[in-house]
Copies of this chain bind each other. A is one copy, B any other.
Amino acid sequence: MKKVVTIGEIVVEIMATTIGDGFLEPISLMGPFPSGAPAIFIDQVARMGQPCGIVSFVGDDDFGRTNLNRLRQDGVDCSAIGVDPDRPTGSAFVRYRDDGSRDFVFNIRHSACASIAITAEAKALLAEADHLHVMGSSLGSGGTVTAIRESISTIKQRGGTVSFDPNIRKEMLGLSGMREALEYVFSETDLFLPSGDELYLFCNAATEKDALLQILSCGVTAVVIKRGAAGSSFFDAEGYVSMSGFEAEEVDPTGAGDCFGGALVTCWLRGMAPRDALAIANAAGALAVGKRGPMEGAATWDEIEQFLLTRQGSQ
């Protein structure tokens, strides 16, 4: 089986237990939950039984240990996660507002994530990897961008493939070097996983169809549009397939897109038919929103199949 590697932030998430605006007074919180978009992605890949690992850094603290424990337990190769003796593990406080938007307080750029680099352990992991997944959220730090560039180069030299989920908040687009980093990763992308307006990040198109055609003409092999609760679509040289989403009780949407991505990439690497891959990834997303915590809803292959058996009549 192909080995999947990702590189980027491992953080803890601390979530408000009430809906409201920001963190301006003491409120009830829950945490630390293992988190970070690349970490959630790779945990989903691991839970589906695919060989995988992550290049990252955590601090020498309980927040780092809780992430290491979880990723190891779920089967992720953690040999290339360094422990920074000085900087703390990254953190993200999240609170949902009435309108479904979110307030954050981040500590990522100056956390242990700032130490991410291609260490000897990362080199060894990449030397046995067949596929690299990149999250746009990881491109805010210059050191991580350098490490991602090196990783892409290694993977491509090995004849491997790259998937890319832009996964960026609008305010990140203004960061120095972000645009260049996004364009570089896109230029090396085989499987592109945009959601919403991200489809239009790298083309000049007015319609989804034109955007998809332009993206394929840039050298991308396949595009999967993530539509959240509404489902997803797959497009490549052979055509277009769309699948509506599964109804799911939404307990916590955080991380659902990353779980969708982890499942989709796993299916794509296994050579599954687009329709089957979309169904499995939609199921992974639906299962992810049903549990509180960004990584808590990452489902095993068995759980996904069970879900599909009970739900496929309902589509």
Contacts and interface: CB of A to CB of B under 8 A. Distances in A.
Interface of A: 14, 22-33, 61-63, 65-66, 69, 86-89, 91, 103, 105-107, 109-111, 293
A223 B111 CA distance: 39
Given A25-B66, A86-B110, 11 more contacts: A22-B62, A24-B62, A26-B30, A26-B31, A26-B32, A26-B33, A28-B30, A29-B30, A61-B105, A62-B105, A91-B107
A69 B24 CA distance: 9
A142 B88 CA distance: 18
Contacts of A65: 24
Contacts of A29: 14, 28-31
Contacts of A61: 105-106
A28 B28 contact: yes
A30 B30 contact: no
**Count of this chain's copies in the oligomeric assembly:** 2
Contacts of A89: 105
Contact of A23 (B26, B32, B87): B32
15 contacts: A23-B32, A23-B66, A24-B62, A27-B30, A28-B29, A29-B29, A29-B30, A29-B31, A61-B106, A86-B110, A88-B106, A88-B107, A107-B111, A110-B110, A110-B111
Contacts of A30: 26-29
Contact of A86 (B25, B103, B109): B109
Nearest to A70: B25
Contacts of A33: 26
A199 B87 CA distance: 31
A24 B68 CA distance: 10
A166 B207 CA distance: 65
Specify which of A26, A31, A32, A106 lies most central, judged by the most chain B CB atoms within 10 Å of its CB: A26
Contacts of A26: 30-33, 293
A40 to B, nearest CB: 15
Give 6 nearest A-B pairs by CB, closest first: A23-B62, A29-B29, A88-B107, A22-B62, A110-B110, A61-B105
